[in-house]
Structure 1
Amino acid sequence: MASLDNDLDPVLDKDGVRLTVDDAIATVTLTNPAKRNAQSPALWRALTEAGRSLPGTVRVVVLRAEGQSFSAGLDRQAFTPEGFDGEPSFIDLARGADAELDATIAEYQEAFTWWRRSDVVSIAAVQGHAIGAGFQLALACDLRVVADDVQFAMRETSLGLVPDLTGTHPLVSLVGYARALEICATGRFVSAEEAERTGLANLAVPVDQLENAVRDLAGAVLAAPRDAVVETKALLRGAQERTYEEQRVAERAAQARRLRDLAGLGE
């Protein structure tokens, strides 16, 4: 079966990340299966660049990975004294000033934040291992379709670290505090069955059906008018921070905009 970005000219193809665009659907592919799509600062910068390179026609962004693993997490070379070529090692960063360290981590996090934009719906297609940074990258997306061989794990705590690539907020939102703490503190694997049952995954399918399932989901999202989806995503995204009464107000304002637009009275 052809992949979601097959035969398309890449908009971006660097440092283990390829971006292709087919009208309203953009596909971001992790392209280093030989290293199980392990992540590095260069890959994070490429992911950030991919987000900035999306044409205005894009409504759905699919995140996928080549090979048997979605992403085995952070490349352990980051923890060696030499680090990556042309990059400060994590050991060097730890020895630097607080402001510099904070700014560097904030830069890394940018690769994980743009998937939540209101103007697109992001779908992660996840197979095999999605560990640490790989788990957090899947969590960065709005929706997750997983293969039945998926193995999620948050291993940062076992390494003496914390999940710091924006994964803690969506994890707690999806599965609740107690289960999120247990997953992070133990570093255990979460199977496809548990992921679907607890809300980590929207759908679990056999691995050979993964891309077709994602394609069907993307098509279903595209079937609704764009502005209605944008407004609905913004409403749902903000619901956790609003009170019940504040959400009622936000719903009325959003609906008023939609009604005026449908009546031809929009700005």
Structure 2
Amino acid sequence: MHERIVVDRDGPLLTVTLDRPERHNAMVPSMWTALARLGADLPTDVRVVVLRGSGASFSSGLDRALLTPGGVPGERDLHLQASGGEQQLVDEIGSYQKGFSVWRECPAITVAAVHGHAIGAGFQLALACDLRIVADDVQLAMRETSLGLVPDLAGTHPLVRLVGYSRALEICLTGRAVGAREAVDCGLASLSVPLAELDEATRDLADAVLANPPAAVLELKRLLRAAESSTPEQQQYAERTTQARLLAAMADRR
């Protein structure tokens, strides 16, 4: 995997921990590439994936040293990449986005357990998950615009979908922090808990998912994801065909 990502398996539950606590889990491109590989190669019997961060924060986002000449030793030099032309950068960013989008696209239910700072790329990684639980110390923020940039790691679609265009624009333009209570109130998080209870609450949620029949959970994720872009008629068709498939499978087992 990656020296800064720890993966633990407990039966059908996989826990992925960003492990760079001395830098508040600031991320570099090789971590995004590793996340993309992990999500793409997820074993079929993994039903829940928890993404979390070690230390004081979920992730402070992009390691800002990447934006300086020379960048981070051992990582792709973004300044050098930029000098190669716009299309080269488009392709490069596209490969990084896969480390985020894969968590919405994979069959497993993905849960972000978020505490401390989740800024920029960290916020977008949390947004990539199906569900988010936040600790009461959480600070969610998009700071890209203050750097002359925009969020580009697959986070703008889920942000607008969850909170609406106007609030998403305000959050990105101001770069302000969204705390736990606001995150729950506006739909960015399902639940807020005291920091000391975050791991337990996350495990309780994972266990609740795992208590359901696997086929129903898989079909439900597909069905609700399709609802984001379907017409009412298309979604009704998806509902009845999905239900018929599950009922037929039940009949075959009897």
- Length-normalised TM-score, structure 2: 0.96
Unaligned 5+ runs, structure 1: 1-11
2:135 equivalent to 1:147: yes
CA RMSD of aligned residues (A): 1.2
Map 1:1-267 → 2, pairs under 5 A: 12=1, 14-264=2-252
Give the Å deviation of 1:118: 5.0
Task: Tell me the amino acid that sits aligned with residue 248 of structure 1.
Answer: Q
Residue-pair matches, total? 253
1:3 corresponds to:
none
Give the superposition deviation at 1:125.
0.4
Structure 2 spans left out of the alignment, 5+ residues: none
SS at match of 2:252: coil
Runs of 4+ in 1 over 3 A off after TM superposition: none
Deviation, structure 1 residue 81: 0.6
TM-score, normalised by the number of residues in structure 1: 0.92
Q: Percent of aligned positions with the same letter in both sequences?
A: 56
Match of 1:263, SS state, is: helix
Q: Which amino acid aligns with 1:41?
A: P
TM-aligned CA distance change 1:256 to 1:58, over 3 Å:
same
Contact 1:146 1:201 in 2 (8 A): yes
Specify which structure has the higher proportion of helix: 2
Cα distance in structure 2, aligned partners of 1:176 and 1:50: 31
**Deviation of residue 91 (structure 1)?**
1.6
Taking the aligned partners of 1:118 and 1:225, their CA distance within structure 2 comes to 17
Once the 2 structures are TM-superposed, how far is the Cα of residue 119 of structure 1 from its aligned partner?
A: 1.7
* Cα contact 1:15–1:42 (8 A) shared by 2: no
C-alpha contact 1:38 1:75 (8 A) present in aligned 2: yes
Shift of residue 53, structure 1, vs aligned partner: 3.9
Q: Do 1:118 and 1:233's aligned partners in 2 also have CA atoms closer than 8 Å?
A: no
Indicate if the aligned counterparts of 1:44 and 1:108 stay in contact, CA closer than 8 A.
Answer: yes
2:232 and 2:38 map into 1 onto residues whose CA distance is: 36
Instruction: Note the alpha carbon deviations across 1:28-65, whole angstroms, 9 max, x for none.
Output: 00111001000001111221222234222100000011
